[in-house]
Amino acid sequence: MTVAWRPGRGPGWALLVVVSVVMAAPVAVTVWSITDPSVEVWRELWRTRLPGMIVETAMLVALVVTGTVIVGTALAWLVTAHEFRGRRLLSWLLMTPIAIPGYVLGFVWLDTLQGPLGARAVRSIWLCAAVLIVSLYPYVYVFAWSAFREQSPRTIDVARTLGRSSFAAWWRVVVPMARPSIAAGAALVAMEVLTDVGTVRLFNVSTIADGVLRVWFGTGNRDAAAELAVLLVVAAASLIAVERALRGRARYTQTGARDATSGRPVTGLRAAAVNVAGWGVLCIAVVVPVARLVGWALRAHRLGQTETISGDLGFHTASSLKVAGAATIACLVIGTTMVFIARDRGRWGAALGRLASLGYAVPGPVVAIGVVVTLAALDRRGWWSGEVLLVGSLAGLVYAMVVRFLAVAHHGIGASVSKVSASAVASARTLGAGPLRVATRVELPLARAGVIAAATLVAIDSLKELPVTLLLRPFGIEPLPVWVWQATSESLWVQASVPSLMIVAIGMPLVGLLLWSVERGAQVVS
Amino acid sequence: MTAAVGLVSVTRCIGERPIVDDVTLEVRERELLTLVGPSGCGKSTLLRLIAGLERPSGGAITLGGLDVTDVAPERRRIGLVFQDHALFPHLTVGRNIAFGLRRFDRRRRAERIDEMLELVRLPGASRRYPHELSGGEQQRVALARALAPDPAAVLLDEPFASLDASLRDELRADVVAALRERGAAALLVTHDRDEALALADRVAVMRDGAIVQVDRPEVVWSLPNDEFVARFLGPVSLLSNGHGDFEIVRPHQFDFVGGGSDRVVEREFRGAVWRHTILRADGTQLIVDAEPGQDLEVGATCAVHVRPGHQLARLSRP
């Protein structure tokens, strides 16, 4: 909450418009490409792969969304509706799979199941969906979990006294009330499936995103790739429409105590069942993959396969840290600025804020292609003195990352800042602090946990990001996901394990930091 | 003498609906004015308008005779105390109080912090954090923080509402004493009529966004402008004089003698007095206080009359 008016709001508007336009430009440019279609390519695609691509994309999205909603909601129910030894630890650990990218989980299970299932059967859309479900369920889990925790235990008590069993009370009352949150998590999952290029490639599933990459690298026809990417935008937009419809107009707010729902104590067989379910998922998602990665990495070390032609592990790690670090800092600075300049500006301010956050609702390949096209246009104009080209520069890659992940920072920081009590802000204003001083001295310090959470989320996301990195990496920068991509495309699991393990090793402490800040009241889901 | 706070025809609309409707009011220098009214009548909005946290749709606001209608809140030199005290949880008590003392040098700032903590009777609390204090102590710090920069006026929004009764009386007395000692003009918003009457130099009664009456507490109590003010401030009986007019009588202004056409239907013990509800033969109900020893049992008959020597408010029923 903020003060309802302030004198002099001129420069803020200009800055807001500039940021929004710069952030939305790549998406607009990609969509614009459809106005001049490459008819030949489309005809060819339609005759060959396009119908299959659309069907497989739709199937994969449907399978993964259904699976993550079931797994994520069920796990959240297990750890909030029951009280057992180690519940707290388990409820935190269940979020750690977000540190392991789908394309890493994919090749580990591909190899592990190749023996029992056979090399042909293993590369199926079903297994691909299973891997994506295991790697993406935390998005639904975290939303459902915080929605469940926010509900007053009295709601369940009332349902119980009205004659419902414990499970029925959850199913009929708690889950429906959490539906908007679960839908939001499911939308994120759908977006991640649309953007995925690494996992689907492993399992020979040909989706639209995969098609965009094949056209881009295979034929070199960038216009056709951009036009195909428009299909992804359409898919993403329709998914968002579905999510909005599912959310409905319902805005569930609860009054009264918000103390964490206390679970029903379970012992004996029931406790064992709960534990087996929770730890079982963790084994599949984290324990087994990390164990196998460590095994392979040790072998790679013995064989001396811990480097690529570009450089050693240190070089690739430094590349990753450089890109993720720069993207995180840029997202934080721009996101924080957006939070403070976009609010209190009515409908237009909110609209511009959403425009700047557009990139998150658009699959990675679209953003990457849009950035390439935008920057190439700027380079051709030669606005910049000297020979500096924006395409293929670190700045270009970071720009694309910011377009893609600004929304994470913007929403996270915004949600936490809005929780700062209105009367604290009012007190500061009357004590002589202007809007800027209130922001830096009162609101941001109080929202610190939220800022940290937003930063870690952006860092984890940009560390894992494959399509944007693949299309935009500048010469001399080879982040870890690219190494994984190159090694796995030749089925060199041993080599791929080294960068994979490094991604997990950097990601896990970040997840720890994320959980720490959530514990301190950070708002990651809004 | 110029008013510390002046409002001239101040209106604040949300959409078409006026929340504050054409309010003209002043808080004089060194005065404690209480603003009382039912919840939702616009009291808090009026406070936010004076502080500059909201902007009036019409009218003008002056502080110390200067027009501040278009001045940002941080330039108004207003002290603000909320019900939830709104201390900055990440700063110590000392740094909370120092928040508004930016123009002070280090030595004077430290002196002022000590002086303020002395004033609100919390010496030595400077290094503690808000969460280490009790509710009453937090409210004392909030007052110290508001008073520290020597504001032109202090606005208090239901400052005692979240405290329990025993703590409230003590804190009330201390807050009033602190305000008087600093000589600050203060506007205190409350929905508690006893609080409004007990603390005030003058009371302003608000209803539906408008000020209905402003006067010394004893005047609004015994000579209310209308039936709403009369009923809002305390128990009251309406005595019709047969010409469409009626007089309003407080319970202590009645007396009764045993035997007559009036009958006691209910009574409750209020400490200093017994409060009787008495039904007259014409069907009207009267509320009558009598000291213990002078009281009547339920069911007793009596004759009620107004004590001589009381000036009564006379109103015409709408």
Task: Kindly report the number of other CB atoms within 10 A of residue B86's CB atom.
Answer: 23
CB B53 within 8 A of CB A1: no
Estimate to the nearest angstrom the gap between the alpha carbon of A22 and the chain centroid.
21
Mean pLDDT is lowest, of A163-172, A288-297, A456-465, B21-30, for A163-172
Chain A residue closest in CA terms to B96: A428
Is the pLDDT at B318 greater than 70, yes or no? no
Integer angstrom CA distances of residue A516 from A327, A522, B285 = 22, 9, 65
**A426, A442, A445: residue with CB nearest B80:** A426
pLDDT digits (tens, 9 = 90+) for B285-309: 899 999 988 888 999 999 998 888 8
CATH C-level class of B235-316 = mainly beta
Helix locations, chain B, DSSP H? 43-51, 93-98, 106-119, 135-147, 165-182, 193-199, 217-222, 227-233
> Using 50, 70 and 90 to split pLDDT, how confident is the model at A517?
confident
- The C-alpha of B208 sits at a distance from chain A's nearest C-alpha, in angstroms, of 22
- Do A430 and B79 make contact, defined as CB atoms within 8 angstroms? yes
Mean pLDDT for B41-54 is 90
Is the pLDDT at B47 greater than 50, yes or no? yes
> Using 50, 70 and 90 to split pLDDT, how confident is the model at A387?
low
What would the DSSP string read from start to end of B120-138? TT-TT-TTS-GGGS-HHHH
DSSP-derived 3-state class of residue B187: strand
CATH C-level class of B5-227 = alpha beta
Is the pLDDT at A501 greater than 60, yes or no? yes
Q: Which residues contact A327 (CB under 8 A, 6 or more apart)?
A: A398, A401, A402, A405, A458, A459, A462
Q: Is the ipTM of this complex over 0.85?
A: no
**A421, A432, A434: residue with CB nearest B149:** A432
pLDDT digits (tens, 9 = 90+) for B27-39: 999 999 999 999 8
- The C-alpha of A434 sits at a distance from chain B's nearest C-alpha, in angstroms, of 6
Token pair 């509320």: residue: B287
Domain with CATH 2.40.50.140 in chain B: 235-316
Estimate to the nearest angstrom the gap between the alpha carbon of A258 and the chain centroid.
28
- Do B86 and A427 make contact, defined as CB atoms within 8 angstroms? yes
Mean pLDDT for A169-191 is 80
- The C-alpha of B262 sits at a distance from chain A's nearest C-alpha, in angstroms, of 48
Question: Is this prediction's pTM over 0.80?
Answer: no
Task: Give domain status of residue A434, yes or no.
Answer: yes
Mean pLDDT is lowest, of A11-25, A36-50, B85-99, B167-181, for A36-50
* CATH number of the domain within which A192 lies: 1.10.3720.10
pLDDT digits (tens, 9 = 90+) for A241-273: 887 777 665 545 444 444 444 567 777 788 888
| CA neighbor of B306 nearest in space, from B239, B246, B258, B261 | B239
Chain B residue closest in CA terms to A432: B74
Q: What percent of chain A has pLDDT above 70? A: 88
Domain with CATH 3.40.50.300 in chain B: 5-227
pLDDT digits (tens, 9 = 90+) for A276-311: 999 999 999 999 999 999 999 999 888 887 777 777
Domain with A176, as residue range(s), is 14-251+259-519
DSSP classification of residue B48: H
Which residues from chain B sit within 8 angstroms of residue A2, using beta carbons?
none
Which residues from chain A sit within 8 angstroms of residue B75, using beta carbons?
432
Pairing of strands B285-290, B274-279: antiparallel
Helix locations, A419-472, DSSP H? 422-430, 435-438, 444-446, 448-464, 467-472
Does A224 or B202 have the greater pLDDT score? B202
Q: What pLDDT is recorded for position A254?
A: 44
Is the pLDDT at A512 greater than 60, yes or no? yes
Q: What pLDDT is recorded for position B111?
A: 93
Integer angstrom CA distances of residue A454 from A325, A335, B202 = 13, 9, 51
**B70, B76, B80: residue with CB nearest A427:** B80
Q: What percent of chain B has pLDDT above 90? A: 49
| CA neighbor of A438 nearest in space, from A343, A345, A521 | A343
Chain A residue closest in CA terms to B84: A423
Which residues from chain B sit within 8 angstroms of residue A4, using beta carbons?
53-55
Distance CA B256, CA A68 (A): 79
CB B204 within 8 A of CB B211: yes
Distance CA A129, CA B87 (A): 51
Is the pLDDT at B246 greater than 90, yes or no? no
Report how many Cβ contacts below 8 Å link chain A to chain B. 76
DSSP-derived 3-state class of residue A216: helix
What separation, in Å, do the N-terminal and C-terminal C-alpha atoms of chain B show?
Answer: 38
Mean pLDDT for B148-163 is 89
Q: Which of A9, A417, A420, A431 to mutate to test the interface with B (most CBs of B within 10 A)?
A: A431
- The C-alpha of B53 sits at a distance from chain A's nearest C-alpha, in angstroms, of 5
DSSP-derived 3-state class of residue A436: helix
Chain B residue closest in CA terms to A438: B74
As given in the structure block, the two tokens for residue B300 are 């007793």
Is the pLDDT at A423 greater than 70, yes or no? yes
- The C-alpha of B140 sits at a distance from chain A's nearest C-alpha, in angstroms, of 15
Distance CA B72, CA A3 (A): 10
- Do B99 and A433 make contact, defined as CB atoms within 8 angstroms? yes
Task: Give domain status of residue A2, yes or no.
Answer: no
Q: What pLDDT is recorded for position A7?
A: 41
> Using 50, 70 and 90 to split pLDDT, how confident is the model at A435?
confident
Kindly provide the b/e burial profile for residues A364-393, where b requires at least 16 CB atoms within 10 angstroms of the residue's own CB.
Answer: bbbbbbbbbbbbbebbeeeeeeeeebbbbb
Give A 468-487 residues with CB within 8 A of chain B: none
- pLDDT mean across residues, chain A: 83
Distance CA A120, CA A114 (A): 8
Mean pLDDT is lowest, of A62-66, A292-296, A421-425, B238-242, for B238-242
| CA neighbor of A209 nearest in space, from A362, A356, A347 | A362
- The C-alpha of B82 sits at a distance from chain A's nearest C-alpha, in angstroms, of 7
Q: What pLDDT is recorded for position A6?
A: 47
Mean pLDDT for A459-480 is 89
Q: How many domains does chain A have?
A: 1
DSSP-derived 3-state class of residue A489: coil
Is the pLDDT at A8 greater than 60, yes or no? no
Chain A residue closest in CA terms to B52: A430
Q: Which residues contact A476 (CB under 8 A, 6 or more apart)?
A: none
Q: Taking the alpha carbons of A206, A210, A216, A222 in that order, is the dihedral positive or negative? A: positive
**A7, A423, A427: residue with CB nearest B72:** A7
**E runs forming strands in A216-369:** 264-265
Q: What pLDDT is recorded for position B28?
A: 94
Put simply, whether A445 touches B (Cβ < 8 Å) is yes
CB B149 within 8 A of CB A432: yes
Is the pLDDT at A324 greater than 70, yes or no? yes
Which residues from chain B sit within 8 angstroms of residue A417, using beta carbons?
none
What separation, in Å, do the N-terminal and C-terminal C-alpha atoms of chain A show?
Answer: 15
Mean pLDDT for B81-107 is 87
As given in the structure block, the two tokens for residue B108 are 């004077």
CB B187 within 8 A of CB B33: yes
Q: What are phi and psi of B13, to 5 degrees?
A: -110, 145
